[in-house]
Amino acid sequence: MTHVEIKEAQKQVDDWISQFEDGYWPPLSQLAALVEEVGETAREINHIEGSKTKRSGNDNLESELGDVLFALICIANSYNISLEDSFKKTMSKYDKRDKTRWKQKTKKP
């Protein structure tokens, strides 16, 4: 069984949006949409972690994270940015910068 590549996810979003006349929203509107989804993610995590109103299961969070990813992909697509390249850049930055920032596990002999 194959899994969805980041590149393929970007294409699926592009196909979906391309069927509409208006196409992508202006970038600052897309950013606002991303912020809205991050806000809903914040609410879900507060529900799961907070001491007041514990919620069991995290189905809602699963949905919200998908919405955040969708909004993120829209922004990337608008600017012709490959999220795969973005991801590789971040991994390589962290690898260089943070390798010695936290304590590594001691290797078992």
**55 near a second copy (CB under 8 A):** no
Are the CB atoms for 76 and 86 separated by under 8 Å?
yes
**11 near a second copy (CB under 8 A):** no
**90 near a second copy (CB under 8 A):** yes
Q: How many residues bind a second copy (CB under 8 A)?
A: 72
> Minimum distance from CB of 109 to a second copy (Å)?
17
Identified binder of a second copy from the candidate list 54, 56, 79, 97, rule CB under 8 A: 79
> Minimum distance from CB of 61 to a second copy (Å)?
6
Annotate 9-23 with b (16+ C-beta within 10 A) or e (fewer).
Answer: bbeebbeebeeeeee
Distance CA 6, CA 69 (A): 10
Identified binder of a second copy from the candidate list 14, 24, 55, 70, rule CB under 8 A: 70
Distance CA 54, CA 63 (A): 18
